[in-house]
Amino acid sequence: MTTTIEPAEDEASVSSLISVRDLTVSYDVARTGKKLVAIEGVDLDVREGEFVTVLGPSGCGKTTFMNVIAGLVKPTSGQVLVAGEPVTGPGPDRAVVFQDYALLPWRTVFDNVKFGLEMQKALKGSGWRDRVQEAIELVGLSGFEHSYPRELSGGMQQRVGLARAIVAEPRILLMDEPLGAVDALTREVMRAEIEKLIAATGKTVLFITHSIEEAILLGDRIVVFKSHPGAIKEVIETGLARPRSERSIQSDPRFLELRDHLWDALQGEATAAAVSK
């Protein structure tokens, strides 16, 4: 599993799975009648099988960005193409893992994972039970099939969220700060597991985070967002070997270099955001 990811030279290759072209999203603010620009002029190409982390301070529009790709929010201008087709709404080629898990409290682990197939009416035949069971095993939840979400820890609930997302075998996994609500220790364990899982399944991932370490440890590329309005500040290739177990990478000069660089970039952003409030 020790594959070295070469930094890609061509920015806008033809083979990109996700193409974002001059994307702008603005909202009408109730009462004031003003327009709030969430993101402005965003361009991005993501190759098939690439792990892209999106890093930025709170309120920089990175979640809005993800919601447009998920098909939950319509672009005000510009467009998003997935496999060459414009996104008009949610689709089975994209699945989302939410920060607050968004599990159905009245369903067991098994039935929550099944939900990912059920809503797409993919329960025909008999194979779906095996697929659900496989997804549960893949995230390490065997034996908890009949537990309710409230009986599980936060980390385990997010595993259910992950299983629900991968069960329908989407090409693209959209993860909105999936480890943001998990305790620090569990976060480290799950970060390594997510890296392993993605390497094994070869999914294309867009991973939203506000943690610099997380962005470096997971991403092939890091997209740094700035706020007011939300836009891409820079895109960085990490160029680090996988798997990136944390101990070995902490002393890697490239890791330190990236961390310092991102730290400076984000600190400027955070200060700007605080002043403009």
Partner 1 sequence: MSTFLASGPNLGRGGIGAWLAGLSARGKALVLAAEVVVMLVLWQLVVGVLGWINPVFFPPPSAIWQGFLELWSSGVLATNALVSLQAWLTGFAIAVAIGIPLGLLMGTSLPVDRVVGPIAWTIYATPTIAYQPLAKAWFGFGIGPVIFLVAISAVFPILLNVAAGMRTTNPSIIRAGTVFGASRFQLYRSVYLPSTVPFLFAGLRQAVVLATIGMVVAELTGSAQGMGAVIIRAANTYQTDQAFAAIALVVVWSVGMTQVVTLVERWVAPWTRKARR
105 scored as a contact of partner 1 (CB under 8 A): yes
Q: Is 106 one of the binding residues for partner 1 (CB under 8 A)?
A: yes
Among 36, 119, 189, 256, which residue sits at the site for partner 1 (rule: CB under 8 A)? 119
Shortest Cβ distance from residue 90 to partner 1 (Å)? 5
Single-letter residue type at 114: K
Nearer to partner 1 by Cβ, of 167 and 218: the residue is: 167
**Residue 100 within binding range of partner 1, rule CB under 8 A:** yes
| CB 119, min distance to partner 1, A | 4
90 binds partner 1 (CB under 8 A): yes
User: Within positions 137 to 156, which residues make up the interface with partner 1, using CB under 8 A?
Assistant: 148, 150-151
256 near partner 1, judged by CB under 8 A: no
What are φ and ψ of residue 223, in 5° steps? -100, 115
CB of 120 to partner 1, least distance (A): 5
By CB under 8 A, residue 71 contacts partner 1: yes
Using alpha carbons, select from 49, 92, 53 the residue that is nearest to residue 71: 92
What is the residue whose two structure tokens read 């976060």?
Answer: 187
Q: Does 115 bind partner 1 (CB under 8 A)?
A: yes
CB of 25 to partner 1, least distance (A): 16
Per CB under 8 A, the segment of 78-86, 112-120, 182-190, 201-209 that binds partner 1 is: 112-120
Task: Name the residue type at position 144.
Answer: F
Residue 21 phi, psi (nearest 5): -120, 115
Applying CB under 8 A, among 135, 168, 258, 266 the residue interacting with partner 1 is 168
* Of 96, 87, 92, the residue nearest 205 (C-alpha): 96
Burial level of 274, CB count in 10 A (0-12/13-18/19+)?
exposed
Q: Does 102 bind partner 1 (CB under 8 A)?
A: yes
> Which of 139, 224 has the CB closer to partner 1?
139
In the bound state with partner 1, the residue whose beta carbon lies nearer, of 48 and 111, is 111
Burial class (CB in 10 A: 0-12, 13-18, 19+), 260: exposed
Report yes or no: 216 and 262 within 8 Å, Cβ to Cβ: yes
Segment lying near partner 1 (by CB under 8 A), choices 14-22, 56-64, 101-109, 254-262: 101-109
**Residue 40 in 3-state DSSP?**
strand
72 interacts with partner 1 by CB under 8 A:
yes
Omega within 30 of 0 (cis) for the link into 105? no
Helices (H), the chain: 62-70, 109-118, 127-138, 154-166, 184-201, 212-218, 246-250, 253-276
Q: Is 139 left (phi over 0), alpha (psi -120 to 50) or beta?
A: alpha
Among residues 12, 83, 104, 189, which is the contact residue for partner 1, using CB under 8 A? 104
Residues at the contact surface with partner 1, assessed by CB under 8 A: 70-72, 90-92, 94-96, 98, 100, 102-107, 115-116, 118-120, 148, 150-151, 164, 168
